[in-house]
Amino acid sequence: MKKIFIFILSVFVITSFVLNIECQDVLVKIRRIDTKKASTVSKKSVIEKKNNIKENNVRIVLKDNSGSSIYHNKICIQGKKLNIYYGKKFCNKGEKKKITISLNSSLFDKNNIVKVEAANDLKWLGHNEENGSPKYKGMFYIYKENNGLVIVNDVSMKDYIAAVISSEIGVNAPIEALKTQAVCARTYILNSNPKEYRKYNATADDSTDFQVYNRQKPNDNCIKAAKETTGLVMFYKNKLINAYYFSTSCGYTTDYRIWGKDKKYYLKSCDLTDKNKINVKSDFDKFIKTNVNGIEKNDPYYRWNVEVTKEQLKNSVYRATGASAGEIKRIEINSRGSGGIASQITIYGTKKQIIIKKQNDIRKALCSPYAEIKLNDKTVRKGSMMLPSAFIYIEEYNGKFKIYGGGFGHGSGMSQNAAIEMAKQGKGYKEILKTFYSNVEIKENI
């Protein structure tokens, strides 16, 4: 009897042990499945959260084809199905496929604003025809003013950013460069609040005064870059930065001081050359007259030069400053900012001396539309009203002034062409951004 009891007890213990192992194995498998499921759900949630970030619409004033005026004599709009709202509190509605609105239109009888939306996109006929008149997303608000009609595009942030990317850095840039431009453009527009457009509840216009918008139709990659960076902006000490950017560097960027006394420490001079051994401030002539090896060395504007006569210079100085220096005898670069940018010059003339400080004013004063700007690739540009940049060195000979320069744009913040080259080297958009903007956080704008 005792032997039978011991046998039964042994069987029970062994069975319990085996079952326990199997149960533990089942529990481990269940935990693995739950963990995998949780991981999948977590990833899915992140993607859904990213796609569901709410971004407000923006309102953009649309300038004429020259980019010089916000006023228009008439506006012709076409769409698959246009809904036109007018009258007091937009209580009246009309439907058309095409409409031309002028200053004397009856649509303005009881309200100086007309709203136009479409079933799909809006086409502004006769506008930006050289680029195929890209269509507009969103809706138009058309204001009747004494000087003409003002047209404002109310558009989603996503669609706005895509159409800035295509117009600013171009549709053919690598995807990481497009994302870089997307974060810059979003940060810039969210930090924009111009007084002159508040009456239209607008935050910018579509010109280079802010950032170029919808001059080129966005392609799939531009749309993808806008979507995959949804909500992402740059902060410095928990404040949105001024995300300045420009076309091409001379091998260096400059710092915040070109914008005034406000200390934007995230805008620092950036060296984009390959082990340049020249002291840029003291030996800028050697630097700018040489095609120093740099990431943008093959860009046409990386190096350029222009010759201006004394007569041309006299006229351009007067045009830029409103003061006549007389015959120009000498030009002196008094000081340079970081990266070698000319920050103050003195024009010595037979009538007076004129001091010019701002980089934009320097570029205007030293450029004649009749002079030829010879670029790095041996091509020539004519008719420019300002020098490509203020990274310059000046020599006088044979009664003329020869200006050697590099880069295109103000030179502060991100160089778009450098961003393109970095993306080609395999760098991601966050790494590229942090090259040009120091100590910034790239995060969602909550």
C-alpha triplet 355, 356, 361: angle, nearest 5°: 160
CB-based contacts of 385, cutoff 8 Å, min separation 6: 364, 367, 369
Mean pLDDT of 374-387: 96
How many whole angstroms separate alpha carbon 282 and alpha carbon 285? 8
Q: Is a pLDDT exceeding 90 seen at residue 101?
A: yes
How many whole angstroms separate alpha carbon 86 and alpha carbon 96? 14
Per cent of the chain over pLDDT 70 is 88
Q: What mean pLDDT, rounded, does the chain reach?
A: 89
CA of residue 15 relative to chain centroid, distance: 72
pLDDT value of residue 277: 77
Q: Is a pLDDT exceeding 70 seen at residue 48?
A: no
Per cent of the chain over pLDDT 90 is 83
How many whole angstroms separate alpha carbon 158 and alpha carbon 137? 10
- In a 3-state reduction of DSSP, which class is residue 112? coil
Out of 47-51, 121-125, 126-130, 181-185, pick the least confident: 47-51
pLDDT value of residue 281: 76
pLDDT value of residue 333: 96
- In a 3-state reduction of DSSP, which class is residue 332? strand
Out of 279-283, 349-353, 409-413, pick the least confident: 279-283
pLDDT value of residue 30: 34
Residues 195-204 pLDDT 10s = 999 999 999 9
**What are the two backbone dihedrals, phi and then psi, of residue 404, each rounded to the nearest 5 degrees?**
-95, 135
**What are the two backbone dihedrals, phi and then psi, of residue 222, each rounded to the nearest 5 degrees?**
-65, -45
| Exposure class string for 222-236: b at 16+ Cβ within 10 A, else e | bbbbbeebbbbbbeb
How many whole angstroms separate alpha carbon 105 and alpha carbon 195? 28
User: 3 or 52, which is more confident?
Assistant: 52
CB count in 10 Å sphere of residue 359: 26
Residue 387 banded pLDDT, cuts 50, 70, 90: very high
How many whole angstroms separate alpha carbon 365 and alpha carbon 346? 11
Q: Is a pLDDT exceeding 80 seen at residue 11?
A: no
Residue 46 banded pLDDT, cuts 50, 70, 90: very low
Out of 35-49, 65-79, 106-120, pick the least confident: 35-49
Mean pLDDT of 133-140: 96
Which residues partner with 442 through β-bridges? 234
Report how far apart the first and last C-alpha atoms of the chain are (Å, whole number): 78
Local structure of residue 339 (DSSP, 8 states)? G
Residue 104 banded pLDDT, cuts 50, 70, 90: very high
| Amino acid letter for position 424 | K
pLDDT value of residue 36: 43
Q: Is the dihedral of CA 425, 427, 431, 437 positive or negative?
A: positive
